[in-house]
Structures are given as structure tokens and as C-alpha cells.
């Protein structure tokens, strides 16, 4: 079968611009798709990402892409000029096409609250298509991700419909998190050059004077996917659909769930350059050293018998930390345990963790901020990983935890349900701990169960091994995307 031409477009790609799992997926999937045969499938992949200020300032070596300089994109109220700079994804030959447009991307953050936020990402979609035109490169599939690139399918069907280059181009929209939909006033349609396309925007939103990027994408993408089978089901329900359930139900036949892969090139305790001690399922001595080193870094007393619970997370309502309030303090009072937290986000949650730290300074430590290397330390040095999410499209941290011998404690939702199997001490099977109800009571019951199992260290070692042997690599998950791309193109 011939290799596919694939354009991957997103607002985040690790390591260049990252706030969450989306960035890791783009890096891992892009790198895997482009890996040359026979190790990889060897597709012609090009990844599109804005050239944010932070990338421009990072010292990354990029080169101007010949044939894609000074491209003017006409919007009704202004013309925006961009150029493509390129550099490969790390450890690969897959090119990233950075959209260099100072007037839109030379800002502090990846995301902003500026009045032209819709245009910033409207341009991203158009820049992908404009670049393809300049290069006369016809993608088989443009793979869009989340709301930021969700207008692309509509642009393709309207503004670019005349161009035969795209006659065979199909679109896939992957929903990584339905909590972010890209809501704007419908007057933005004019700004975005879609003023005459009102009939193609979701009628409910229009009635309310709104425009949702994500809904527009769901209406017009050839196919839809999300990042786990359970989440694909959940987002079609009133509980999880966040207002999109009916629309998604209407496209149910075109919606599939594919669990994210893990890039074990980045996340492997056997040779992770970000941690000082390494280990494997057969020799866990390095993990014990990591525990000691991590506790020292968090300035907490070390006792090998006291279990360390780790948290690495955006601190938002999605992640379910409100459940800690009536559960975790009980155990902090009662048990010799540690809690090490790395996170940033809502002030309320940051303050809550700070309060825990102030109340139990010898047991709790929090690092407020975003720090890649510390995330690896916590995965490696903790004994268990807490992820009580209210909803979780896929979740990567629980999969990293499995590989780092840190059994995850998760709520049975979305990708957590699909990737963690309950530990059963009788059969010594399973990889972690799950609870169903979104309540402190349910979390407390599970913590109790975790601590009872911790006391049986022989069982615990088996639990660790089971998790470390699970394989969520892109070698396993990637072919599901390729099958989907092929189904789309009929190739
Ligand atoms: P989400 O995408 O909802 O944030 P995921 O579990 O899918 O959740 O992915 C989170 C990613 O972001 C992981 O790679 C995790 O290590 C990283 N991460 C989250 N918060 C931090 C932080 N404060 N510092 C470093 N890395 C973080």
C-alpha cells in the first residue's frame, strides 16, 4: 500500500508548545507515522504549529521553507501575511511547519484572552491549506485536533472548494477534550471570512448569536475521533457531552475512540535522561533510590515503609481534586504517608494543596508550576499515582505511571477506564485501583483498599510488574489511526 500524505494540525506540539496531553500526542503520533520502514509505517507527515513567541525565543534552529514565504491570507477586514519556518520533530525526520506570523503569534502565551483569539486559530487552519497550495502538496488526510483547527473542514469545503488539489483530501477531527469548544460571537464569522456560510454553522448556536469552532468541525469533518473508546461513548451522553451530545449522536457512525499512545522514547524508566536513577520491572532498586531522591527534592522525610502518593496535573475542576477534601486528610492524620504534588491552575485548588502542606508539613509538599523534569521524577519516585478525574478523555499520566511502576488510583471514566485494570490480590492480576462514584466517600474507600494492599509488599511488587509490562506504545495504538486514515481515503 502506498504511503499516505498526512497533514497534522494543532495548537500544541511537544516539546515546542505544551500545556497538556495534546502536545504529547502530536509529538508521539507524528514521529511514529513518519518513522521509516521497516521500523515504522513511513508516511509523508507534516505537522503544522504556530510559531509562538516562546518557540521563537527558545533558540530552536529553524529554516525558512522554500516556496512558502510571505503568503497573504485575505480575510474580509484585513490581510494577514505569514511564512513557514521548519525544523524536524526531535529524533525524527518529520518536518514541523511553523506558521510564522508575528502579528498573531508573537505573544506571551499559547492561548490568550485577546480579541483576535478566533482569528489566531482561524489563521492556523487557513495557513495549513495555503501552505499545501504553495507546495502543491495534496494531503490525503488533514488531521485536525480540538477546536483550534476545527474550522479547517469548513474552510476546505467552501473557501478552498475550487482547488482541485484538494479533490481527494479528507478530514479527521480528533476531540481531545470536549471541555474546550472555542466559543465566540457569531459576528466572528465575518472576521474569519465565513460570513456567507451561516447556513453551515450549528443552528442552535447561531440562534443564540454564537459560533462554536468545535461544533463546526463536528458538522463538517469527514470523520471524528476521540481519545478512548469509553470517552467516545460518554460524550454522546447528557452527563459528559457538554452541550454537544445531540450533535455527536447524530454523527455516531463516524465517531471512533482510539486510546492515545505513549512515547516510550520520552517516558521510559530504563533510560529516561530526566531522572538520576533508572530501573526495570526486573530490577526495581533504582525506583527505591528515586523515591529517596524525590522526597529529598520535596524536602520531606524519607521512610521506605511510608507510601508516597504522587500528583502531576493541571489543577482544574476536570481533574476531580475536590474529592480530596473529605478523604485525603483522614489518611494524612492516620497514616504515615507522603503526598507530592506538581501542578498549576485554579487558585482555589492551589490554595487547597497549600493548606494541606501547611497542616502536614512533614507529609505533604507541593510544587506550583509546570516543570517537565519534575513530572518524570514524580512518576518514577512515587508509590502510587492519584488521578480522581471527574472526566478524562484519555489521560496520559496514568499510562506513564504504569510504565514507571507507580500504580494509578483513578476514577473509572474515559480513558482511565480503558487503560487501568483493577488489582485483584487473589489472582494477582490488574494494574491499579479504580472507583466509580464521583465522591470523597468512594475515593476514601479506595485509599483504604490501596493502603491495605500496600502492606502486602509481595503482592505490591506483582502489581508494579503487571503495570510496567503493559504496552501503550504508538506501535500498538498508531495502526488504529492508520486504519482510520485508510478507511477515510479508501486507499
Ligand atoms: P491533560 O491533557 O488533561 O492535561 P493528560 O494526562 O492527558 O492530561 O496529560 C498531561 C500531560 O501534561 C502529561 O505529560 C503531564 O506530565 C503534563 N503535565 C501536567 N501538569 C504538569 C506540570 N505542572 N508540570 C509538568 N508537566 C505537567
DSSP state of 166: G
Decide: 6 in ligand 1 pocket, CB within 6 A. Answer: no
Q: Looking at the CA of residue 387, tell me the nearest atom of ligand 1.
A: 6
Q: Is the shortest distance between the CB of 398 and ligand 1 below 6 Å?
A: no
Query: Would you state the pLDDT for residue 491?
Result: 63
Helices (runs of H) and strands (runs of E) counted in the chain: 19, 18
Cα distances (angstroms) measured from residue 383 to each of 405, 407, 424, 490: 8, 7, 18, 47
Q: Report CA(414)–ligand 1 centroid distance (Å).
A: 16
Measured over the CA atoms of residue 24, residue 28, residue 30 and residue 31, the dihedral's sign is positive
122 CA to middle of ligand 1, Å?
26
Is 372's C-beta closer than 6 angstroms to any atom of ligand 1? yes
Instruction: Ligand 1, residue 19: give the atom nearest the CA.
Output: 12
What separation in Å is there between the alpha carbon of 330 and the centre of ligand 1?
27
**13 Cα–ligand 1 center, Å:** 13
Candidate of 274, 375, 403, 477 to mutate for ligand 1, largest count of ligand atoms within 8 Å of Cβ? 375
Residue 368's DSSP bridge partners are 343
C-alpha cell at 331: 489518611
> What contacts 162, CB < 8 A, 6 or more positions away?
none
- CA 219 – CA 223 distance, rounded (Å): 10
- Atom 9 of ligand 1, residue of closest alpha carbon: 21
Name beta bridge partners: 345.
Answer: 315
Helix pair angle (285-297, 372-381), 10° resolution:
130
DSSP, res 114: -
Can you say how many angstroms the Cα of residue 6 is from the centroid of all Cα atoms in its chain? Answer: 20
**DSSP 8-class letter at 201:** S
34 C-alpha vs ligand 1 centroid, how far in Å?
Answer: 24
**Nearest residue CA, atom 4 of ligand 1?**
20
Give the closest residue (by CA) to ligand 1 atom 26. Answer: 372
Residue 373 CB less than 6 A away from ligand 1: no
C-alpha distance across the termini of the chain, in Å:
8
Q: How far is the CA of 436 from the centre of ligand 1 (A)?
A: 23
Domains of the chain are 5-261+475-489 (3.40.50.2000), 285-471 (3.40.50.2000)
CB atoms within 10 A of CB 55: 23
Give dist(CA 199, CA 120) in Å, integer. 23
Between the CA of 396 and the centroid of ligand 1 the distance, in Å, is 7
158: Cβ below 6 Å to ligand 1? no
Which residue's CA is the nearest one to ligand 1's atom 16? 375
Nearest CA to ligand 1 atom 20: 313
For residue 298, which of 335, 340, 332 has the smallest C-alpha distance?
340
Instruction: Tell me the three state secondary structure of residue 45.
Output: strand
Beta-carbon contacts of 75 under 8 Å, excluding residues fewer than 6 positions away, are: 119, 122, 191, 192, 193
Closest among 133, 139, 462, 453 to 281, alpha carbons compared: 462
3-state SS track over 229-296: HHHHHHCCCCCCCCCCHHHHHHCHHHEEECCCCECCCCCCCCCCCCCCCCCECCECHHHHHHHHHHHH
371 lines ligand 1 (CB under 6 A): yes
Residue 395 CB less than 6 A away from ligand 1: yes
Separation of 386 CA from ligand 1 center, angstroms?
13
Ligand 1: which atom is nearest the Cα of residue 367?
A: 23
Burial zone of 439 (CB within 10 Å; 0-12 exposed, 13-18 middle, 19+ buried): middle
State in Å: Cα 192 to ligand 1 middle: 32
Q: Is the CB of 342 under 6 A from ligand 1?
A: yes
Evaluate whether 422 touches 435 at the Cβ level (below 8 Å).
no
Calculate how far, in angstroms, residue 371's C-alpha sits from the geometric centre of ligand 1.
10
> Is there an atom of ligand 1 within 6 Å of 314 CB?
yes
pTM of the model: 0.93
What confidence score (pLDDT) does residue 427 get?
Answer: 98
Burial class (CB in 10 A: 0-12, 13-18, 19+), 78: exposed
Question: What is the residue-level pLDDT of the chain in tens, covering all 491 positions?
Answer: 899 999 999 999 999 999 988 999 999 999 999 999 888 899 999 999 999 999 999 999 999 999 999 999 999 999 999 999 999 999 999 999 999 999 999 999 999 999 999 999 999 999 999 999 999 999 999 999 999 999 999 999 999 999 999 999 999 999 999 999 999 999 999 999 999 999 999 888 989 999 999 999 999 999 999 999 999 999 999 999 999 999 999 999 999 999 999 989 889 999 999 999 999 999 999 999 999 999 999 999 999 999 999 999 999 999 999 999 999 999 999 999 999 999 999 999 999 999 999 999 999 999 999 999 999 999 999 999 999 999 999 999 999 999 999 999 999 999 999 999 999 999 999 999 999 999 999 999 999 999 999 999 999 999 999 999 999 999 999 999 999 999 999 86
In this structure, the chain runs to a length of 491
Rounded distance from Cα 63 to ligand 1 centre (Å): 30
CB-based contact 12:19 (threshold 8 Å): yes
Which residue, 426, 441, 438, is CA-closest to 387?
438
Q: Is 397 in the pocket of ligand 1 (CB under 6 A)?
A: yes
Element containing residue 51 per DSSP (H, E):
none
Amino acid at each position: 500500500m502506498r504511503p499516505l500524505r498526512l497533514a497534522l494540525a494543532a495548537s500544541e506540539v511537544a516539546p515546542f508548545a505544551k500545556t497538556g496531553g495534546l502536545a504529547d500526542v502530536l509529538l508521539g503520533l507524528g514521529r511514529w507515522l513518519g518513522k521509516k520502514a521497516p521500523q515504522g509505517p513511513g508516511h509523508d507527515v507534516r505537522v503544522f504549529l504556530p510559531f509562538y513567541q516562546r518557540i521563537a525565543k527558545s533558540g530552536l534552529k529553524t529554516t525558512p521553507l522554500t516556496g512558502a514565504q510571505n503568503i497573504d491570507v485575505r480575510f474580509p477586514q484585513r490581510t494577514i501575511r505569514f511564512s513557514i519556518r521548519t525544523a524536524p520533530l526531535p529524533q525524527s525526520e518529520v518536518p514541523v511547519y511553523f506558521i510564522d506570523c508575528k502579528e498573531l503569534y508573537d505573544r506571551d502565551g499559547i492561548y490568550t484572552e485577546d480579541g483576535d483569539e478566533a482569528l489566531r486559530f482561524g489563521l492556523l487552519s487557513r495557513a495549513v491549506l495555503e501552505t499545501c497550495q504553495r507546495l502543491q502538496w495534496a494531503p490525503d488526510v488533514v488531521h485536525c485536533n480540538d477546536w483550534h483547527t476545527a474550522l479547517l473542514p469548513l474552510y476546505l469545503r467552501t473557501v478552498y472548494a475550487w482547488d482541485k488539489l484538494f479533490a481527494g483530501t479528507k478530514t479527521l477531527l480528533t476531540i481531545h477534550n470536549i471541555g474546550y469548544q472555542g466559543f465566540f460571537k457569531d459576528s466572528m464569522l465575518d472576521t474569519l471570512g465565513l460570513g456567507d456560510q451561516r447556513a453551515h454553522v450549528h443552528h442552535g448556536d447561531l440562534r443564540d448569536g454564537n459560533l462554536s469552532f468545535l461544533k463546526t468541525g463536528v458538522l463538517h469533518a469527514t470523520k471524528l475521533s476521540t481519545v478512548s473508546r469509553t470517552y467516545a461513548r460518554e460524550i454522546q451522553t447528557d452527563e459528559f457531552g457538554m452541550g454537544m451530545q445531540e450533535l455527536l449522536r447524530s454523527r455516531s457512525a463516524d465517531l471512533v475512540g482510539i486510546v492515545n499512545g505513549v512515547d516510550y522514547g520520552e517516558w521510559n524508566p530504563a533510560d529516561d535522561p530526566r531522572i538520576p536513577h533508572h530501573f526495570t520491572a526486573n530490577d526495581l532498586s533504582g525506583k527505591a533510590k528515586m523515591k529517596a531522591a524525590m522526597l529529598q527534592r520535596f524536602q520531606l522525610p524519607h521512610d521506605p515503609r511510608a507510601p508516597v502518593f504522587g500528583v502531576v496535573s493541571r489543577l482544574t475542576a476536570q481533574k476531580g481534586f475536590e474529592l480530596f477534601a473529605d478523604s485525603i486528610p483522614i489518611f494524612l492524620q492516620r497514616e504515615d504517608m507522603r503526598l507530592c504534588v506538581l501542578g498549576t491552575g485554579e487558585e482555589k485548588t492551589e490554595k487547597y494543596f497549600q493548606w494541606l502542606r501547611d497542616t502536614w508539613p512533614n507529609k505533604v509538599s507541593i510544587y506550583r508550576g509546570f516543570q517537565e523534569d519534575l513530572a518524570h521524577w514524580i512518576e518514577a519516585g512515587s508509590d502510587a499515582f492519584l488521578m480522581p478525574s471527574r472526566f478524562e478523555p484519555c489521560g496520559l499520566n496514568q499510562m506513564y505511571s504504569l510504565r514507571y511502576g507507580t500504580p494509578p488510583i483513578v476514577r473509572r471514566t474515559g480513558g482511565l477506564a480503558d487503560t487501568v485494570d483493577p488489582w485483584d490480590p487473589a489472582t494477582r492480576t490488574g494494574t491499579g485501583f479504580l472507583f466509580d462514584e464521583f465522591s470523597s466517600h468512594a475515593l476514601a474507600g479506595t485509599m483504604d483498599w490501596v493502603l491495605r494492599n500496600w502492606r502486602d509488599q509481595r503482592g505490591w511488587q506483582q502489581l508494579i510488574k503487571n503495570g510496567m509490562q503493559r504496552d501503550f506504545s504508538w506501535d500498538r495504538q498508531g495502526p488504529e489511526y492508520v486504519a482510520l486514515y485508510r478507511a477515510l481515503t479508501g486507499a
